[in-house]
Structure 1
């Protein structure tokens, strides 16, 4: 539990309810978690923002204690579908417009929400991810080994689920260990919660990643051709991926977000847990734009 927050299940689509932590009061902001985590990754940031905002932290469909619909159809875990979940969640809680921040997988959902629902999303923050098209474009050669899980979970149904399911704790724990500069940022009880949630959600997590190698690419390509962009103020917090993989991350983001603030952070991938003060500072600056 996030201190002072309450938890409830909110129906967002036919047969899909999201487990959601809610706290604070004021203008709403929705925080979307990444992989392999749950809404608990926002525990520090959410508690701070709740001093003057209504903070809404769901588990994404397919993750945590939210419902996990069958992923045999690509649309089930398309970011377009998951973004519609988030809009429906906020509306069910009485908010027609809201700010949105996402980390990792949650950031991809946030980006899609900003593209599909520009009149609903007032401000958008993305933590340590590239838009889907750019992510696949920069992953080539030996440097792509860092993203081996993207290629594994892009494979047809069957083998990825079996391989990951047979060694779930080792698989998901690998990323929790590898991507954190500060191991103390994820204490044992939170790590255990992440591993348990991920172990119970292997098929839906794989379906989420598989969508990003298929239907999500199609949706992003259509937006690029049509000139659809993120029209709200956007803040991106990112590790220095460009130095590691040989590209200009800020330049790639400007294609999608004309009103952009791009910041390079010194923490590891799990920045909301490793350096929540920086994340809070940047989110508050975004909300003031």
Structure 2
């Protein structure tokens, strides 16, 4: 049986273009939307969501292409552009009765949250980012042999066909390698949760690849256009990440400050799956963000 977030109800609602989004919602109070990363589902927020639900309405969707949400064919680059996925989030929140909300994302979900903050500043009141840099900057900071840590970005950036075939042929080994390598310890991902992530990812190979392929194309175009136009994140922003700057040789806080003038940049000693490994730290960072 797939684990759930205790005390939360479930929804299936249309996103921006009718693609159905599934997820969980619970709590009462001002709304906070939590977006998951790769190779996970909304279940990654189970510990943080329970804590925040004491004072907030917490909405945890599966991104389009992931989990139980719709997986449309990627017949154009726009289908899995972060701009489209951000519009999904805005439409979903509106369907649940919220025209303004705080937004926190991890990994792929953080890239969607970043785009939502740029495209919908009147809607996103506070923005939390876990363990990424913006797409445009991500490609700039990867170089030399240090880029091997992100080999999957290059694999899934290739034209349609080969990446999907290779990954589908060994899906559990491929997705499981990230669950193992990126975890800060053995306690973060219980066996039933790990199995749920593998099951969901195994069923979503084409859409996951399409999501990553968009970040090597249309997402870069959108980021560059905003950078050139001087568009910035106008809401309070908190970034919580591992010390990737030291590992890859760049100033992570400076990268984020170029996009977010009102920035609280924090480093964590937790692994990449910090919401599961260090939920108290992540919850505290979100609560601090919401008071700004």
Matches of 2:15 and 2:40 in 1, distance apart? Answer: 21
Q: Deviation of residue 254 (structure 1)?
A: 0.3
Distance in 2 (alpha carbons) for counterparts of 1:8 and 1:120: 21
Superposed displacement of residue 160, structure 1: 0.2
Among 45, 48, 52, the alignment partner of 2:51 is 48
- How many correspondences in the alignment? 289
Alignment of 1:240-259 (within 5 A): 240-259=243-262
Equivalent position of 1:191 in the other structure: 194
**Distance (Å, rounded) in 1 between the aligned partners of 2:65 and 2:76:** 14
Distance 2:139 2:201 in 1: 24
Distance between the aligned counterparts of 1:287 and 1:41, measured in 2? 20
C-alpha displacement at 1:20, in angstroms? Answer: 1.6
- SS of 1:282's equivalent in the other structure is helix
Name the Cα RMSD after superposition: 0.5
Contact residue 35 and residue 63 of structure 2 kept, 8 A: yes
Q: Which runs of 4+ in 1 moved over 3 A?
A: none
Name the CA distance, whole Å, in 1 between partners of 2:155 and 2:121.
Answer: 33
Q: Is the 2:16–2:84 contact (alpha carbons within 8 Å) kept by the matching residues of 1?
A: no
Establish whether residue 10 from structure 1 lines up as the match of residue 13 from structure 2. yes
Structure 1 regions of 5+ residues with no counterpart? none
Could you say which residue in structure 2 is the equivalent of 1:127? 130
TM-score by length of 1: 0.99
Report the Cα distance in structure 1 between the residues aligned to 2:94 and 2:129, rounded to whole angstroms.
22
Ranges in structure 2 where 5+ consecutive residues have no aligned partner? none
Aligned with residue 269 of structure 2, among 266, 269, 276: 266
Instruction: State TM-score, norm by structure 2.
Output: 0.98
* Match among 157, 163, 168 for residue 165 of structure 1: 168
Residue matched to 2:94: 91
The 1-side partners of 2:90 and 2:18 are apart by 16
CA distance in 2, matches of 1:88, 1:236: 25
- 1:135-154 equivalences in 2 (<5 Å): 135-154=138-157
Residue 225 of structure 1: how far off its partner (Å):
0.4
Measured in 2, the distance between the counterparts of 1:62 and 1:288 equals: 33
Taking the aligned partners of 2:282 and 2:248, their CA distance within structure 1 comes to 24
Distance in 2 of aligned mates of 1:131 and 1:181? 23
Instruction: For residues 197-227 of structure 1, give each alpha carbon's deviation from its aligned partner in whole angstroms, at most 9, with x where no partner exists.
Output: 0000000000000000000000000000000
Tell me, in whole angstroms, the C-alpha distance in 2 between the residues paired with 1:279 and 1:182. Answer: 17
Whether the 8 Å CA contact 2:27–2:57 is kept in 1: the answer is: yes
> How many angstroms does 1:243 deviate by?
1.0
